[in-house]
Amino acid sequence: MKTIRYPKKKDWSALTLRPAKKTVALQALVSKVFANIQREGDKAVMKYSKQFDSCAVVSTKVSRSEITQASKAVTPDLKAAIELAKNNITKFHAAQRETTQRIETTKGVTCWRESRGIERVGIYIPGGTAPLFSTVLMLGIPAKLAGCKEIVLCTPPNAEGNIHPAILYAAQLVGVTQIFKIGGIQAIGAMTFGTATVPRVDKLFGPGNQYVTAAKQLAQQQGVAIDMPAGPSEVLIIADQQSVPKFVAADLLSQAEHGSDSQVILLSDDAEVIAATQAALAQQTKALSRNKIVTQALKNSKAIQLKSIAECLNFSNAYAPEHLILAVKDSANYIKEIGNAGSVFLGNYSCESAGDYASGTNHTLPTNGYARNYSGVSVDSFVKKITFQEVTAKGLQNIGPAIEQMAAAEQLDAHKNAVSIRLAALAKPKKN
């Protein structure tokens, strides 16, 4: 992890760049895979599963018996942990559901908005280097709370053609309706176009590597909505003398182990904090089972010393991190200074892992700087908002003249007439 001291503000833009594969090559590959899936359906999906995931399965759809067997394979302790997480995630997300409010904007004119669950959603669960069953909870629970009728899940199988039991257990626990053993670009393509086996979905959710992110962006061009362009995981930590370097190192490593293309950033106003954290990183990395991945991710990462915590916050807002940890004294005092971040963790004991698993907040968050203009997944992500209005005769008399004036000024005579014809009818005396 490279240490940079007091960079000039003109250099910040370069320091906020994430590691990335060449976009042109990515887009060309995704376009080719999509075209073949659109043309050949399941045949192309099976071909790419064998090519990219080194896995040949007889059937991509997970059977009921596979789910039953998976449930038996999950230990009671893990089931209890998943249940605890499910309860907290449900509690937090259930509070996000809106209560309908009817607003009388003018006497006789009532407007309101109601939510409707998106009918069929697709959720992608990474499983290549780690079986992210926690993401099943993070996506399945708000989808169910939103009222989505169908929840389609795709996740890559292992070399033997099996899905990790905890993924299947979590899927049935939250009410996923169909599960498929498909990963990567081909999974996104299958849910985008639909095949004889995999249904076409209305909106796609879930994190993934740059291939999955590129595939989701192309899916959007094909008329399928996406949650956000979520790519490789990242964390930015601001630490001062009140921080605990071994805690900071542990949080940096928790994100670095997601993948070799992940990035972690440490900001501090104290050289000793950076040095102590670097030493803890080296020590803790040796004990990790995924140390090769971690080591590669750390090559993409930086420790930056700035003049003050205020300057650290300014840099963080420029970086717009997926996860932001404030390991500083009186961390809550800085909340209003945070403008761009996916999810924020305050104080020495708010480890990022809490948000990843069981605190209740969602861990599907914008990466690669998209926290500037995207929010993390919530119940709102799974619903459409429909507006309603009811205008009485008196209401039309109150706002009709203004509508006529505006329509006439825009030279839209038919719009004006739709009001004028009604006002004229209302103006006629009633016959006895």
Catalytically active residues are: 322-323
CA distance 201 to 327: 41
Among 258, 229, 254, residue whose Cα is nearest residue 365: 229
**For 4-21, b where at least 16 C-beta lie within 10 A, e where not — what string?**
eeeeeeeeeeeebebeee
Q: What are phi and psi of 198, to 5 degrees?
A: -100, 125
Cα–Cα distances in Å, from 374 out to 18, 116, 364? 17, 21, 11
Which two three-digit tokens encode residue 192?
């985008």
* Contact criterion met (CB below 8 Å) for 237 and 273: no
- Residues constituting the chain: 432
Strands 263-268 and 234-239: parallel
Exposure class string for 214-248: b at 16+ Cβ within 10 A, else e: bbbebbeeeebbbbbbbbbbbbbbbbbeebbbebb
Q: State the CB neighbour count (10 A cutoff) for residue 129.
A: 13
Instruction: Tokens for 13, please give them.
Output: 């833009």
Q: Are 361 and 350 in contact, with CB atoms under 8 Å apart? A: no
Count the helix, strand and coil residues of the chain and give each as a percent rounded to the nearest 5: 50, 15, 35
329: left (phi over 0), alpha (psi -120 to 50) or beta: beta
